[in-house]
Amino acid sequence: MMDTITNFSPLSSLSPECSRRRFLGVSGVLVLGASLPVQRALGQTAAPTTFAPNLWLAIDGDGTVRATVHRSEMGQGIRTALTQVIADELDADWSRVEVVQAQGDVKYGDQNTDGSRSITQNYDRLRAAGATARLMLRQAAAKHWGVAVDTVRAGNHEVVHAASGRRLGYGELASQAAMLPVPENAPLKKETEHRYIGKPVTHVDAGDIARGKGTFGADFSLPNMATAVVVRCPWLGGGVKSIANKPTDEPGLVAIETLDAAPSAGPVFAPLGGVGVVAEDTWTAMRVAQGLNIEWTGSPNQTFDSNELRHALRDAVAKPGTPVPGSEKGDVDAVFAAGGTELSATYETPFLSHAPMEPPVAVADVTEERCVVHAPLQDPQSARPMIAAQAGLTPDKVEVTPTLLGGAFGRKSKPDFALEAVELSKRVKRPVRVQWLREDDIRHDYLHASSAQHHRAVIDDEGKPTAWLQRSAFPSITTVFAAQAVQPAPWELEMGFSNLPYTVANQRMESAGIRPGARVGWLRSVCNIFHAFSANVFADEMASAVGRDPIEHRLSLIPASGKLKQPGQPAPPGHELDFARLRHVIERVRKLSDWDSPRPEGVGLGFAVHHSFRSYVATVLEASMANGRPRVSNAYVVLDCGTYVNPDTCVAQMEGAVVFGLSLSLYGDIALKEGAVVQSNFHDYPMLRIAEAPATKVELVPAQGRLPAGVGEPGVPPVAPALSNALFAATGTRHRTLPIRA
Amino acid sequence: MGHKLNVNGDAVDIDVSGDTPLLWVLRDHLGLTGTKYGCGGGYCGACTVHVDGAATRSCQLPVSTLPGKAIRTIETLEDRHPALVKTWIDNNVAQCGYCQSGQLMSASALLDGNPKPTDADIDAAMTGNICRCGTYVRIRAAIRQAAGQTAAGGAG
Ligand code: FES
Ligand code: FES
């Protein structure tokens, strides 16, 4: 029998233990969800001891502040950053703030932790939440003392009446504040008054993690829980035809369950189906699963070959594609016909797997009345109705609580693995943890799409393009949503393709799509990866064609000021691409990298810049060839993400993005043959290791006062082109295909 | 099928098949979930523990080979390496954190045998530990810093 590790009530809200966090019982969760009018409507006469003016915070009588974080933590520090915002405007003492992880619930608004937008979307509303509470605490104190509100101020977990020297702690004020009506438009602090926003606060989970106490998906357990490993069909769309050898007397084996293949209709992120091996412990499930001899049914995807797809993508960009509406400027064809110095190049990138350090895993407990899921989900809210459908329950009977995500990069916004746990728990009538093995993770991912780009330009004596034609072809993510979808969606093209920030008098952009025989999905920075790669390398090719310094050249292509008018949907106000900010990160990275100082023979500097997720990132890599392999010695990154909450997190995300970007630049290559992914684990899908990680310097542009932008993703796109350009500078060899092997 | 193990100084008796890797004994049978599964193939180091003081991949160790050996896991690392744990926290080394137990077990074994490692020593000792989030520069910094404290304060 498997020992149970924890015995927390399944109704409890999971938050890893630590001084500032704790498990909350049912009442804590309900209090959080209730606003004051609701409490009054319930006929509550006694003064509540907890002050919970909104969804985001509650203050107990002992002064403990519970801040609710409704986004998922995957290493981007969001549990810390959102709490910084709330605690700052509340003027709370950081050591008395606990973090409560929200369950998936529409009451929070969007909970999709994707697209590097948690701060962009929540900065203002969480500041307002904290400020509202602060005002109410001041009102409560003023009322208690019989003085005017504007004579009292809040500071570090207490309200002070300076004239009389009286002070009351937030805990002491909680029950009185709770009786007050919730005001609207509470004043926000001035930037200079911020105590946590803009400061390098240590992550709330850092202590737990360094002590092995953080609760990731696989670390959560329930009494009487079984563990399952699922064997899935190697090709998409196949199902179980037969199992030749079903063991029956294996000690610790609970059940072998056949799961249906994804229905053609139904939830978008439906499980793949296969054979679920449920056992008392993980090793038994793994061993039995490995020994199964399963015959699979066929599917049209069984002939899918990623090499053939690459040929098809290359062919697609060799001929006219679908013009991006509104992208055409001047007359590209006339300039090409007139002749001049012409450059053209084709770039290729392969499929990639997310490979989060923690493979997908989920715990589900389904009974006839309810369903509880604890899992590393990027979007617990959108998962909830899918889980409900799988469990055969209504969403109100379903609780979905995110654990810590051991990395995600987009993989864990698809809840297919949680749905597997739900189905198996329903079948075996006990809690089930579904554990994906690394091999399952690499083979059955929603892959980052393989792509091809073709660039063609006529340049003048300064390397400036007088005409620029660019084409991009890739299997669109929309193919997983719609059976008929083929063409790249506008939002995919707006990731570094249709919003090219360079001044070109004659310009055309065309795209093409192909339906793949595999699931595609979004991976950290998505289409920006290949679009930034091809555009930045091609720009470098223009500069080198006329012997110009790549940074000088690039600056000459960007207007001195103004905002980009991109084809299609305009960017939200305040988030338009600002040429001055783009130039600024370039100029800063030039200084930071000491760009103008010559490097030794055989060592090259490569530069790339990219605007994505509303942020600006310029990257310089210093690289050489060593023993026939690229070696990156130094990385320099400048980030302008507007207002930032935790500068140290921003720096860490850029450091991590360099490593992530180098992994995909040097190793990332998923191939499919006969519908099946060829790679399976880190021996044939390698990751960058410590000895290959460059020393990294990051500079953050002080831009407080500007709208906050994304941080988790935008560091990735410039890395691959900066490496390619650095290797060209070092060796004279152009690398137009990823990964760069030698 | 009983296997007598010494885990974090405690004698435990585990009734599992002898081929069960130590990783799953720790996680499923002893509730020591700080040690992580990352690949099951000896490639990633997420499952690193100390066996008689050496950093070892627990996913590759059948439980039948372990009687008589002293096994230590992340859960008791701070008792012996408080400075290392502290520098890890102070430097905000962890991003998602999933690899970090393994990183810390490899780092502490390095410092046990080599209190003043060079960057090359660090790279060599830590090369078996993948960090998909890419925290390598902070891992190097934290180890160097902890090594300084080891010399000065005798901690660890
Ligand atoms: S899980 Fe043991 S080395 Fe990866
Ligand atoms: S911190 Fe996420 S894998 Fe290392």
Q: Residue A71 and residue A664: Cα distance in Å, rounded?
A: 27
A141 plus A251 within the same structural domain? no
Inform me whether the C-beta atom of residue B129 falls under 8 Å from chain A C-beta atoms: yes
Contact A211 B85 (CB under 8 A): yes
Q: What is the pLDDT of residues A257-268, one digit of tens each?
A: 999 876 544 557
Query: Which of B 48-67 lie inside 8 A of A, CB atoms?
Result: none
Is residue A538 in a domain?
yes
So what's the pLDDT on residue A568?
A: 83
Same domain (yes/no): A155, A290: no
Instruction: Find which of B24, B58, B136 to mutate to test the A interface (most A CBs within 10 Å of its CB).
Output: B136
Domain B2-73: top CATH class: alpha beta
Per-residue pLDDT, A554: 98
Quick one: A341 and A251 in the same domain? no
Instruction: Tell how far the Cα of B45 is from the centroid of ligand 1, in angstroms.
Output: 5
Cβ contact B123–A690 (<8 Å): yes
Inter-chain touch A655–B135, beta carbons under 8 Å: yes
Counted domains in chain A: 3
Give the number of the ligand closest to the Cα of residue A659.
2
**pLDDT at position B1, please?**
65
Give ipTM to 2 decimals. 0.95
A113 interfaces chain B, CB cutoff of 8 Å: no
Instruction: Decide if A408 contacts A378 (C-beta within 8 A).
Output: yes
Cβ contacts (< 8 Å) between A404 and chain B: which residues? Answer: 96-97
Closest CA to A198 of A206, A190, A186: A190
Res A46: pLDDT:
55
Residue A587: per-residue pLDDT: 98
Mean pLDDT of B115-144: 97
Q: What pLDDT is recorded for position A11?
A: 27
- Other CB atoms within 10 A of residue A226 CB: 25
Rg (CA), chain A: 27
Tell me the shortest Cα–Cα distance from A219 to chain B, in angstroms.
6
With cut-offs at 50, 70 and 90, classify the pLDDT of residue B140: very high
pTM check: above 0.80: yes
Query: Contact A656/B40, CB-based, under 8 Å?
Result: no
Is A312 inside any structural domain?
A: no
At A482 the pLDDT is: 85
Provide Rg for chain B, Cα atoms: 15
Q: Quick one: pLDDT at residue A8?
A: 29
Mark yes or no for CB contact B137/A655 under 8 Å.
yes
Where does CATH 1.10.150.120 sit in chain B?
Answer: 77-146
Q: Is A596 exposed, middle or buried (0-12, 13-18, 19+ CB in 10 A)?
A: exposed
Find the residue in B nearest to A657 (Cα). Answer: B134
Do A30 and A134 have their domain in common?
Answer: yes
**Domain for residue A225, yes or no?**
yes
Q: Is B139 on the interface with A (CB under 8 A)?
A: yes
Q: Which of A181, A209, A237 is the last residue of a domain?
A: A209
Let me know if residue A564 belongs to a domain: yes
The residue from A159, A181, A209 where one domain ends is A209
Same domain assignment for residues A157 and A132? yes
A165, A269: one domain: no
| List of chain A residues whose C-beta atoms are within 8 Å of the C-beta of residue B29 | 2-3, 281
- Whether residue A689 contacts residue B125, with contact meaning beta carbons closer than 8 Å, is answered with no
A402 with A417, same domain: the answer is yes
**Full residue range of the structural domain in which residue A520 is found:** 320-353+446-731
Q: Does A660 touch chain B (CB under 8 A)?
A: yes
Domain B77-146 has CATH 1.10.10.10: no
Kindly determine whether residue B136 and residue A216, on different chains, have CB atoms separated by under 8 Å.
no
Quote the ligand 2 centre to A580 CA distance (angstroms). 35
Closest by Cβ to B104, choosing from A73, A210, A404: A210
Residue A43 sits in the same domain as residue A180: yes
- Over the stretch A346-403, which tens digit does the pLDDT of each residue have? 999 999 999 999 999 999 999 999 999 999 999 999 999 999 999 999 999 999 999 9
Considering the domain architecture, whether residues A431 and A289 belong to the same structural domain is answered as: yes
Ligand 2 contacts CB of residue B132 (under 6 A): yes
Question: What string of DSSP letters covers A139-201?
Answer: HHHHHHHT--GGGEEEETTEEEETTTTEEEEHHHHHHHHTTSPPPSSPPPPPGGG-SSTTS-P
B73 touches ligand 2 (CB under 6 Å): no
Q: Which residues of chain A fall below pLDDT 50?
A: 1-45, 264-265
Looking at all shown ligands, the one closest to residue B39's CA atom is: 1
Residues A283 and A332 in one domain: no
The atom of ligand 1 lying closest to the CA of B36 is 1
Rounded to the nearest angstrom, the distance between the alpha carbon of A202 and the centre of ligand 1 is: 28
Residues A292 and A341 grouped into a single domain: no
Residues of B in contact with A655 (CB under 8 A): 134-135, 137-138
Supply the CATH number for residue A167's domain. 3.30.365.10
Of B20, B95, B104, which is closest to A656 when you measure between CB atoms? B95
Residues of chain B with CATH 3.10.20.30: 2-73
Q: Does a structural domain hold residue A742? A: no
Which of A172, A187, A209 is a domain's end point? A209
- Shared domain for A491 and A475, answered yes or no, is yes
